[in-house]
């Protein structure tokens, strides 16, 4: 097994070719990252504080937000560090650590989106059985299985990747991923390729099929309902559909760029990286905050309560003085 002591660091030469553009990129990444952290923290706090939001859909939404924070936190601070320090190198151990978390992030996003689609399917197509199917215990079990399975599969993939000898140590990417490291190897390994394809099928293809099947049943059921029922179903499913499409498109372009044999322009590399790791964690809570009435109402209620508390605190000294 390679170690960071005996193996030269991975050189990300794209950082050295940015020139003056790296100041704009630092600002861009920092704004997206901090904004994403803030909106996700707000969403998680709102769901945790409001007891009426302690339902399966919102529990899954909190986990989607936490997965987004994990993904952006595994990439954005490192990009900012490279840009601010001028360093282009990362140890192999650091690179493999990033591979682990980015793999878990991608898998969690697809799997949780699939669970959310299933939740909408049960809610709309089997409303009388919803509370017996989507119980808190079952939701916790499904989430535990998702995290455990993805952590194990990612750990195995990282271990297999760490065993291959590297003949090159220079890449044209902003971040590490298993395919990038595999391309640096002295020889192609069938085991790693097959395992990677199996993981991709389990955490991307299968969840996407589950989402599509869920919405196929939802559309079939809603077509036979009243216009009011169709409107409510559309209002319920729109945030999830937008989130799923956004992340799927970002993933598609990320996979395509990794598979290309010729050199991808650095601007495209940066855009694809931001579109996968920085934009979804920022965009998804905003979509749900705008589209879901209960979240909007809860946020407004918390803001009004906070304003009222501040007014009471400001008026209290004057009241005591008058007494």
| Size (the chain), residues | 323
Helix%, strand%, coil% for the chain, nearest 5: 80, 5, 15
**pLDDT tens sequence across 214-247:** 999 999 888 888 888 788 888 888 888 889 998 9
Share of the chain above pLDDT 90, in %: 38
The pLDDT of residue 151 = 95
The pLDDT of residue 213 = 94
**184: pLDDT confidence band, cut at 50, 70 and 90?**
confident
**pLDDT tens sequence across 128-151:** 999 999 999 999 999 999 999 999
The pLDDT of residue 261 = 59
Q: What is the mean pLDDT of residues 36-47?
A: 92
Residue 94: pLDDT above 60? yes
86: left (phi over 0), alpha (psi -120 to 50) or beta: left
**34: pLDDT confidence band, cut at 50, 70 and 90?**
very high
The pLDDT of residue 1 = 45
The pLDDT of residue 5 = 45
Short-list 281, 319, 291, 192, CA closest to 234: 291
Which is it for strands 10-12 and 89-90: parallel, antiparallel or unpaired?
Answer: antiparallel
Q: Are 41 and 121 in contact (CB under 8 A)?
A: no
Please count the CA atoms within 13 angstroms of the CA of 36 that sit on its side-chain side.
30
93/107 Cα distance (integer angstroms):
21
Q: Which long-range contacts link 289-293 to residues 24+ away (Cβ below 8 Å)?
A: 289/39, 289/42, 289/43, 291/235, 291/238, 291/239, 291/242, 292/239
CA angle, corner 175, sides to 20 and 283, nearest 5?
85
Residues 6+ apart with CB under 8 A from 130: 122, 123
Higher-confidence position of 142 and 254: 142
DSSP secondary structure code for residue 257 in this structure = H
């Amino acid at each position: 097994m390679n170690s960071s002591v005996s193996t030269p660091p991975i050189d990300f030469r794209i950082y050295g070719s940015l020139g003056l553009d790296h100041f704009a990129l630092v600002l861009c990444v920092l704004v997206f990252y901090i904004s994403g952290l803030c909106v996700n923290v707000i969403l998680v706090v709102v769901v945790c504080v409001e007891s009426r939001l302690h339902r399966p859909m919102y529990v899954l939404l909190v986990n989607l937000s936490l997965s987004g924070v994990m993904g952006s936190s595994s990439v954005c601070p490192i990009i900012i560090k490279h840009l601010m320090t001028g360093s282009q190198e990362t140890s192999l151990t650091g690179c493999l650590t990033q591979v682990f978390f980015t793999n878990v992030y991608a898998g969690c996003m697809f799997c949780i989106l699939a669970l959310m689609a299933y939740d909408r399917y049960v809610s709309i197509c089997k409303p009388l059985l919803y509370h017996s199917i989507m119980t808190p215990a079952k939701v916790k079990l499904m989430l535990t299985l998702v995290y455990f399975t993805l952590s194990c599969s990612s750990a195995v993939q990282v271990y297999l990747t760490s065993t291959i000898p590297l003949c090159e140590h220079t890449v044209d990417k902003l971040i590490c991923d298993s395919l990038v490291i595999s391309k640096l190897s002295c020889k192609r390994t069938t085991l790693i390729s097959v395992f990677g394809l199996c993981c991709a099928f389990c955490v991307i293809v299968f969840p996407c099929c589950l989402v599509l099947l869920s919405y196929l049943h939802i559309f079939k059921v809603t077509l036979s309902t009243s216009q009011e029922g169709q409107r409510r179903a559309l209002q319920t499913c729109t945030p999830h559909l937008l989130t799923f499409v956004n992340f799927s498109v970002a993933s598609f372009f990320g996979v395509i760029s990794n598979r290309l044999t010729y050199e991808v322009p650095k601007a495209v590399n940066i855009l694809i990286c931001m579109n996968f790791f920085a934009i979804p964690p920022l965009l998804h809570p905003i979509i749900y905050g705008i589209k879901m009435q209960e979240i909007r109402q809860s946020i407004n209620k918390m803001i009004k309560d906070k304003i009222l508390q501040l007014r009471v605190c400001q008026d209290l000294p004057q009241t005591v003085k008058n007494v």
